[in-house]
Structure 1
Amino acid sequence: MEFVLEQPVAEHDFFIKIVLPRRRPLPDFVLLNVTTDGCQLLANRNQVPLMRLGRNIMDRFSNFPKQCPFKPNFTYYIRGFRLDLNLVPAVDMETPVQIEFSHQNKQQGIRWITGYLMARVQRISEKKRSK
């Protein structure tokens, strides 16, 4: 993912929702559902562990700033993203995961950038792993 902004962005909201779908009739399990001030999120060094984990992973694969504002006419990117499961706390393996994230620019009114990730975490036995 890459994007270039036409104007600087000094204030924005960030929304993230992480859902572990379950079979019907059970409702999906919402692991995280948060909307927060994006600038505070970028600058906060004392984030809750799950948000800090996400930020550390993003630092490896993106050039998102560590504080506001986002600069105009500059290419921001997320490239070559690969999730290292050694960084993720223990979770129920072999489960589908749905992640929705959005960004809203407060200065421009309602302008959203929204993304969706769907993944499946699956264990591979040691016998099947290539060496």
Structure 2
Amino acid sequence: MKERFAGFLLMCAVVPLAILGYLIICYTGFIGKPARGRAGVRALDHFVNASVFNGYAWESVSSHAWREREKKIWAKWVIKITDFFQKDHCMRANKREQPLIDLMLHKGLHEQTIGKKRD
């Protein structure tokens, strides 16, 4: 229960900031520094992967799609769409991100932290 309450309070603060962040991404996409916009889009990509596709927070939708390409219909569509813009995009994203995912799992960084019972 403690974790859920802390998550609720955190989301009450984060959601308005996420909306502001989205507006800043739109602004920087047209007239700002490309590096700032790229970092924002990358963070949004990871957020969508974790919240919508039930993936890891340290992984992009593209990398996740490549891992799930044989099991999930949505993954096949993501691969098909990204291949239209850049051939083998999802495969390359996974090759680049998989070592980070392996490290995250090895170190247990995906496990519960708030309200976790101590050993």
- Same-fold call, TM cutoff 0.5: no
Q: TM-score range by the shorter chain?
A: under 0.3
Q: TM-score, normalised by structure 2?
A: 0.26
Q: TM-score, normalised by structure 1?
A: 0.25
